[in-house]
Structure 1
Amino acid sequence: MSTDVRSVEQRSVDEREIVAAVDETDGMARFVVADIVRDDAWLSAPERDACSLDEWR
């Protein structure tokens, strides 16, 4: 992974900013991954089906 050292004002629209969170919808916890720079660029899975960080390593 590279580090972008440019200031916020110099960011390109083509860049990605990926975040992850656990959100509750209709009483069910879901793991959500999203690119918050783009519209409709996200996915989710039931939390129980998501891998832990240690499993990804």
Structure 2
Amino acid sequence: MDTHTYRVTHTDAEWKKLLTPEQYSVMRGHGTERPGSCALLYEKRAGTFSCAGCDTPL
């Protein structure tokens, strides 16, 4: 039983409005990206990436 409290909760309809179709597939529909297809694969700039769903720094 999952007793974790999530700080961000949305309905599926809300998630579909907040995320791109690809983000929704990966984050909510258990989809995956094709290997080597991520635009961030070769990203070298300094900075902080954040979760698209809850804005938590990664």
Query: TM above 0.5, one fold?
Result: no
Q: Which TM-score applies when normalising by structure 2?
A: 0.23
Does 1 or 2 have the higher relative contact order (CA < 8 Å, sep 6+)? Answer: 2
User: Larger radius of gyration, structure 1 or 2?
Assistant: 1
Q: Which TM-score applies when normalising by structure 1?
A: 0.23
Q: Identify, as 1 or 2, the structure richer in helix.
A: 2
Q: Identify, as 1 or 2, the structure richer in strand.
A: 1
